[in-house]
Amino acid sequence: MNVLKQCAKGWGRRLAALGLCGVIGLPMVLGGVPARAEGARQVPASAAEVKLSFAPLVKSVAPAVVNVYASRKVVQQRRVSPFFNDPFFQRFFGDMAPGLGQGMGRPQERVESSLGSGVIISEDGTVITNYHVIENADEVRVALADRREFDAEIVLKDERTDLAVLRIQGKGPFASVPFAEPDSLEVGDIVLAIGNPFGVGQTVTQGIVSALARTQVGVTDYQFFIQTDAAINPGNSGGALVDMEGRLVGINSAIYSRSGGSNGIGFAIPAQMAQFVASAAGHGDRIKRPWLGASVQLVSAEISEALGLDRPRGVIVTKVFPGSPAADAGLEVSDLIVAVDGKEVTDPNSFGYRFATKALGSSASFTVLRGGKETDVKIAMSPAPETPARDARTIKGYSPFAGATVMNLSPAVSEELRVPEAYDGVVISAIEPGSTADRVGLKVGDIIRAVNEVAVPTSADLEDVASRRPRLWALDIERGGKINRIVLRG
């Protein structure tokens, strides 16, 4: 039952005192408490109002918050004497040698499990949770507030946003929580956090929005967090942060803690990002994001002073790639981007969030300062092209690259592997643990520029070079924008 229906069915006095009925514009005065004007925020005006309860709101939202149980099978190799692999021992002792251990060195299987929370966002059983809750899971189950349990399918998981989409394998309709309007939240607003902390069962905590647009948390690529003092603890991950209208404003994700418990500093991913990820579910196993084709950097105090600004703000364009949406729209190096669709940007993280949550096929309006004058630049939201084709190849043999999977760089691959400002060459996309490539220190995201002074522009070229057996290997590897040389014996 939503808040509007709750107000109409007699909860008006309690909810109006909390600003609920008035916020949604019900023209009523109940129990002597005047209705609030639309959009008004008001602190309790009397001791009676302070004593009122959040219970009606919780009853509306809690059925849509679920417990998420994720499990995976892990194979471990028993450490036993190498003699046990000798045919003589195998002949007489087989797999059950008393006093010598069971399994005779064969792999053992155990199950690892993790516990978190999730939020049902549609009646068909679509659930949003954190990526780190179901990372590497083989099986996922969800338990509803009414104690029903269902298997769940992993529809999409995205490490970059720390979000995942599940679908309940059961017959609906299921209770769900609507998304709040983007940027409707304000510092000081009351919020409720609902989840399953420490596995004790569904728990509700209350607090306020302590800050918005936190960009230095460091747990996802897109840092733009809601900070709240509502208690968030381990197990709350993936749970709901809701406003006083019963709308989803965030997905609880992280805490700042020295002890492992809540210290009053919790962080939630804004609902706008969760909505963007949910909309991508069912369209492949990777999220296609808008491609700008430009690099930006923070405006420091020195840069701000040189530009004649009253304060540091926005991001400055440092590079524009030919043929990109930025280039097509006329964005230029040294342009200062101060807003996206009228929303101020203060650093590269806030800019990245505003840009990354735009839908493909739409457009974004950048407010740009150029030559001391303000202008608007309209950017088309299109996906990064995969040109040239990635042509992935796993290198075998005896070269330093053995065990590495390499592919041709393109804007799409660069975005996928988080390789900045590099749209050509050969990049390592995966490394087999314990392989030669792993042992020599190569990493995913390394760009191979040359081998023994010979450029390797494609993955096919690298595979050919890696098949040779020189006495020395001289590798020119680009990592983090710098090229380093590694010399190894053949």
Whether residues 46 and 143 share a domain: the answer is no
Any catalytic annotation for residue 253? no
Whether residues 174 and 302 share a domain: the answer is no
**At residue 386, does pLDDT exceed 70?**
yes
Please check whether residue 84 lies inside any domain of the structure: no
Counted domains in the chain: 4
Whether residues 112 and 261 share a domain: the answer is yes
Please check whether residue 85 lies inside any domain of the structure: no
Please check whether residue 215 lies inside any domain of the structure: yes
Please check whether residue 15 lies inside any domain of the structure: yes
Whether residues 368 and 480 share a domain: the answer is no
Do you find a cis peptide bond into 234, omega within 30 degrees of 0? no
Please check whether residue 97 lies inside any domain of the structure: no
pLDDT digits (tens, 9 = 90+) for 30-78: 333 444 555 566 666 777 766 678 888 888 899 999 999 888 766 555 5
Percentage of the chain modeled with pLDDT above 90: 34
Whether residues 251 and 134 share a domain: the answer is yes
Whether residues 229 and 212 share a domain: the answer is yes
Boundary residue ending a domain (356, 380, 404)? 380
Whether residues 175 and 311 share a domain: the answer is no
Whether residues 178 and 246 share a domain: the answer is yes
Any catalytic annotation for residue 132? yes
pLDDT digits (tens, 9 = 90+) for 155-175: 998 888 889 999 999 887 999
Cβ pair 243, 284 in contact under 8 A = no
Q: How many other C-beta atoms can be found within 10 angstroms of the C-beta atom of residue 153?
A: 12
Please check whether residue 198 lies inside any domain of the structure: yes
pLDDT digits (tens, 9 = 90+) for 34-43: 445 555 666 6
Of the residues 132, 253, 429, 476, only one is catalytic, namely 132
Of the residues 162, 189, 229, 347, only one is catalytic, namely 162
Any catalytic annotation for residue 283? no
Residue 257 is predicted with a pLDDT of: 53
3-state secondary structure (DSSP) of residue 153: strand
Of the residues 237, 350, 410, 429, only one is catalytic, namely 237
Computed on alpha carbons and rounded to an integer, the radius of gyration of the chain in Å comes to 27
CA distance 31 to 170: 43
Cβ pair 476, 448 in contact under 8 A = yes
- Of residues 51 and 461, the one with the higher pLDDT is 461
Q: Which domain holds residue 32?
A: 3-53
| Range with the largest mean pLDDT of 2-11, 188-197, 386-395 | 386-395
Mean pLDDT of 192-201: 82
Closest CA to 320 of 372, 359, 361, 366: 366
Whether residues 320 and 248 share a domain: the answer is no
Whether residues 470 and 438 share a domain: the answer is yes
Please check whether residue 86 lies inside any domain of the structure: no
CATH code, domain with 355 = 2.30.42.10
Residue 332 is predicted with a pLDDT of: 92
CA dist 274 → 136, 228, 242, 334 (Å):
20, 18, 13, 32
Please check whether residue 100 lies inside any domain of the structure: no
Boundary residue ending a domain (260, 287, 314)? 287
Mean pLDDT of 445-463: 93
The residues near 203 (Cβ < 8 Å, ≥ 6 apart) are: 194, 195, 196, 197, 236
Whether residues 162 and 223 share a domain: the answer is yes
* Statement: the pTM of the whole predicted model exceeds 0.85: no
Whether residues 280 and 357 share a domain: the answer is no
